């Protein structure tokens, strides 16, 4: 049975050992994409760093989403209050 439990997160290719996966990731041709100039290498390095930090990035995005949701709720309440004032339904008039 061919058990390739180490998978490349870029191209999906599977490997039997972690060492083989590392070899694949350290090649000049990463996942079939030739790196023939410094800007390509810089982009690929940045992408690889993002993959290494993906859990932290996902966590930060979730936290930002919580803040955006809270802000949206606050703004919705403010808009409703303004509409009520415009329509003469100020809560302070009671």
Q: Provide the residue ranges of all domains of the chain, joining segments of one domain with +.
A: 6-93
The confidence band for 92, taking pLDDT boundaries of 50, 70 and 90, is low
Question: Dihedrals φ, ψ of 8, to 5°?
Answer: -70, 130
On the question of pLDDT at 81 being above 80, the answer is yes
d(CA 92, CA 78): 15
12 Ramachandran zone, left/alpha/beta (phi>0; psi -120 to 50): left
Dihedral sign for Cα 8, 12, 14, 20, please: negative
Closest CA to 12 of 35, 40, 31, 34: 31
Long-range contacts of residues 53-56, Cβ cutoff 8 Å, at least 24 apart: none
On the question of pLDDT at 2 being above 80, the answer is no
The conformation of residue 6, written as its DSSP 8-state character, comes to E
pTM recorded for the entire structure: 0.37
- Output the pLDDT for position 94: 44
Average pLDDT over residues 77-84: 92
Kindly report, residue by residue over 17-73, the tens digit of the pLDDT: 999 888 888 875 566 555 555 556 677 777 888 888 888 888 898 999 999 999 999
């Amino acid at each position: 049975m061919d058990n390739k439990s180490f998978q490349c997160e870029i191209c999906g290719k599977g490997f039997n050992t972690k060492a083989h996966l590392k070899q694949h990731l350290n090649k000049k041709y990463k996942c079939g994409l030739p790196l023939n100039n410094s800007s390509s290498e810089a982009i690929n390095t940045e992408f690889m760093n993002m993959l290494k930090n993906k859990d932290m990035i996902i966590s930060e995005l979730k936290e930002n989403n919580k803040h955006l949701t809270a802000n949206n709720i606050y703004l919705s309440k403010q808009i409703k209050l303004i509409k009520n004032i415009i329509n003469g339904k100020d809560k302070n008039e009671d």
